[in-house]
Amino acid sequence: MKTRDVKTIVFLAALLFAWTGSAHAQAPDSCDLPAYLLFSDSELKRVAQAVQDNKRLDIAVLGTASSALAGPDGGSSAYPARLQAALSRRLPGVMVNVVSLAKSRRTTADMAGELKKLLAEIKPALVLWQTGTFDAIRGVDPAQFRETLEDGVADLQAGGADVVLINMQYSPRTESMIHIAAYADSMRAVARERDVPLFDRLALMRYWNDVGAFDFYAAGKDRGLAVKVHDCLGRALAALIFDAAKLEKPDGQAGQ
Amino acid sequence: MTTERDLRLDLFRGIALWLIFLDHIPSNIVAWLTIRNYGFSDATEIFIFISGYTAAFVYGRAMRERGFVIAGARVYKRAWQIYIAHVFLFTIYLAQIAYVARGFQNPLYAEEMGILDFLQQPDVTIVEALLLKFKPANMDVLPLYIVLLLLFPPLLWLLLRWPTTALAASAIIYAAAWEFGWNFPAYPSGYWFFNPFAWQLLFVFGAWCALGGAERLGGLLRSRITLSLAVAYLLFGFFVTMTWYFPRLEYLFMPKWLSDQMYPISKTNLDVLRFAHFLALAAVTVYFVPRTWSGLTSPLLRPAILCGQHSLEIFCIGVFLSFAAHFAKVEFAGGTVMQIVVSVVGIALMIAAAWLIAWYKRVEGRKATARPQAARADLAGGET
């Protein structure tokens, strides 16, 4: 046997080992996602500027109950805090500060009333706007929803912030009761119209459900699932922001 | 005007009922087969158009033979039946939601549980539902149908005298609804999911076709030019829907001015693109499936025709079964196998129910020889 063949066999064996190893690493709670689910055409230029010029990134999360978790450690386990942790890991030397303004039972119109104050007080380079669920529960007119959201995003952009929209959670137990399709479509349309990335939480969670990463049918009080999912969401958001702002790790390595 | 029942109506309404059922099951892989994924319009358009057609067919005859008052009373009796059916479905919905509320405590879904807030004020919820203002998801079609029937007697009167004037009036109401934003208010906020001011156009168009309009359009429908235009439009619709699933396609091929013009495609207000898509589908169908097509009597299509002939009952059973299917998915398993099982079993149950209703009507009809007139009306589609 030639050395080359031996090398090939060793290489293949190593590959196989790596593959089974990574299959093991993809235990049921893995939050791996295919790249297309985090793909965006829209660029986050202000985020890039803040990171490169100021070495400081202020992010505001505007949202409702699904952007928060109840309990004493709710603040540190919800996805805004997880995002801060994940971005800080990816951007050593940059001061990342994520402020969560999540409050339950607010429609998009309610939140749109707070944009000026938010811009003035936090001066964020990026606003993550999570919405849609409560509007769907209240049955807000989808056309009006879309208009409010579009105007709000325009105001944020005019106020000097980049925007990422975050849509609904995938919730199989309530999906026959909450008509979210029209609102999800509206959010996609607004994202395209205003040229901002959409963090498609609905599709991500559906993907995790389909590959068996999480059991979203679970009804019980167990907080473990919620904590894990928020951690995954925070990391996925960090990946999306990192890519959409075309940031690179200081050592030139891409990815996690 | 022909007096024989057109089996094509039953066939396509039956198929529409199956598609509505499949679309109502959330996250259902079988729903990828339904037409809404391949064009602008969906089964609702078919259902409303055929309902308008058969309503005019049945009550038009009654109005000519027995006068405005009797025919009007029959229409209102039908509207009442549909109202009762809607309330029945709402009761099942309440039971389902109350059941879910009891066991659902997952902290991940604190926000989604807000849908259960309605249970905090059952008095308000129930009254708003009886007023047709509170309409849970997937229970929007029957209220639309009720409103359409309530407005139908004067409209039918007009259609029988000046059909084209009636159609023009309908089109004006449609345009005005778009221009002035007319719609019925809903509870707790917003408007009706199916705007009656917009959707009446399809119902009236169906009625107009039944009362001689289809014959007037005959030449147009047989023309090859119409066919090629319709096929071209269906292909356009197919391409556009593909860009929804493969955003890359949109990025590459969809000019921005076109998407600015097209979106949003409103289902609530029966967007012109949807209406045109339905017309194109209908034109192609009528071209290739003539009234005398032999397949219409084949046993293979019999189940769909049976379902179409008892549309109200089968529609309600379909809504109920979609609740049941969701329940089964939540309680047992939500996987692909389960989705296929509930879809197939659901349609089988719809067929079985239609068969049972047909059998009962046949048996009862034999006894009721004293009222041949009524029996005849039933045969000709007392089902509207």
CB contact under 8 A, A189 and B188: no
Domain that holds residue B377: 1-33+295-384
**A205 within a domain of the structure (yes/no):** yes
Q: What is the pLDDT of residue B371?
A: 46
Interface membership of B106 toward A (CB under 8 Å): yes
**A174 within a domain of the structure (yes/no):** yes
Residue B354, min C-alpha distance to chain A (Å): 25
Q: What is the pLDDT of residues B359-383, one digit of tens each?
A: 999 998 865 554 444 434 443 344 5
**Which residues 172-191 of chain B have a CB within 8 Å of chain A?**
186-191
Among B312, B307, B327, residue whose Cα is nearest residue B93: B327
Interface membership of B109 toward A (CB under 8 Å): yes
What φ, ψ does residue B105 adopt, rounded to 5°? -135, 15
Strand, helix or coil at A101?
strand
**A28 within a domain of the structure (yes/no):** no
Q: What is the pLDDT of residues B53-110, one digit of tens each?
A: 999 999 999 999 999 999 999 999 999 999 999 999 999 999 988 888 888 999 999 9
Interface membership of B104 toward A (CB under 8 Å): yes
CATH of the domain at A140: 3.40.50.1110
Residue B144, min C-alpha distance to chain A (Å): 17
Q: What is the pLDDT of residues B282-324, one digit of tens each?
A: 999 999 999 999 999 999 999 999 999 999 999 999 999 999 9
* Rounded distance between C-alpha atoms, residue B253 and residue B239, angstroms: 10
CB contact under 8 A, B109 and A174: yes
**B188 within a domain of the structure (yes/no):** no
**Cβ-nearest to B111 among A65, A175, A229:** A65
Q: What is the pLDDT of residues B23-60, one digit of tens each?
A: 999 989 999 999 999 999 999 999 999 999 999 999 99
**Chain A residues near residue B338 by CB distance under 8 angstroms:** none
CB contact under 8 A, A173 and B26: no
Overall domain count for chain A: 1
**B213 within a domain of the structure (yes/no):** no
pLDDT tens track, chain A, 256 positions: 444 554 545 444 544 444 443 444 444 447 899 998 998 889 999 999 999 999 999 999 999 999 999 988 889 999 999 999 999 999 999 999 999 999 999 999 999 999 999 999 999 999 999 999 999 999 999 999 999 999 999 999 999 999 999 999 999 999 888 989 999 999 999 998 899 999 999 999 999 998 999 999 999 988 999 999 999 999 999 999 999 999 986 554 444 4
**Chain B residues near residue A140 by CB distance under 8 angstroms:** 189-190
**A11 within a domain of the structure (yes/no):** no
CB contact under 8 A, A226 and B114: no
**Chain B residues near residue A64 by CB distance under 8 angstroms:** 111
Provide the terminal-to-terminal Cα distance of chain A, rounded to the nearest Å. 39
Residue A56, min C-alpha distance to chain B (Å): 31
Half-sphere CA count of B282, side-chain side, radius 13 A: 27
Cβ neighbours of residue A77 closer than 8 Å, sequence gap 6 or more? A69, A71, A226, A227, A230, A231
What value does the mean pLDDT take over residues B177-183? 96
CB contact under 8 A, A172 and B268: no
For residue B213, what is the DSSP state?
I
Q: For residues B143 and A11, which has the higher predicted lDDT (pLDDT)?
A: B143
Q: What is the pLDDT of residue A28?
A: 45
* Rounded distance between C-alpha atoms, residue B224 and residue B222, angstroms: 7
The residue of A174, A195, A221, A229 whose CB has the most chain B CBs within 10 angstroms, and thus the best one to mutate to test that interface, is A174
Q: What is the pLDDT of residues B192-238, one digit of tens each?
A: 999 999 999 999 999 999 999 988 998 898 899 999 999 999 999 99
Residue B109, min C-alpha distance to chain A (Å): 7
**Cβ-nearest to B114 among A137, A179, A220:** A137
Overall domain count for chain B: 1
**A45 within a domain of the structure (yes/no):** yes
Q: What is the pLDDT of residue B353?
A: 98
**A12 within a domain of the structure (yes/no):** no
pTM: 0.88
* Rounded distance between C-alpha atoms, residue B341 and residue B30, angstroms: 10
* Complex-level ipTM: 0.84
**B159 within a domain of the structure (yes/no):** no
Where b means 16+ CB within 10 Å and e means fewer, B246-262 reads: ebeeeeeeeeeeeeeee
**B101 within a domain of the structure (yes/no):** no
Chain B residue with Cα closest to A212: B335
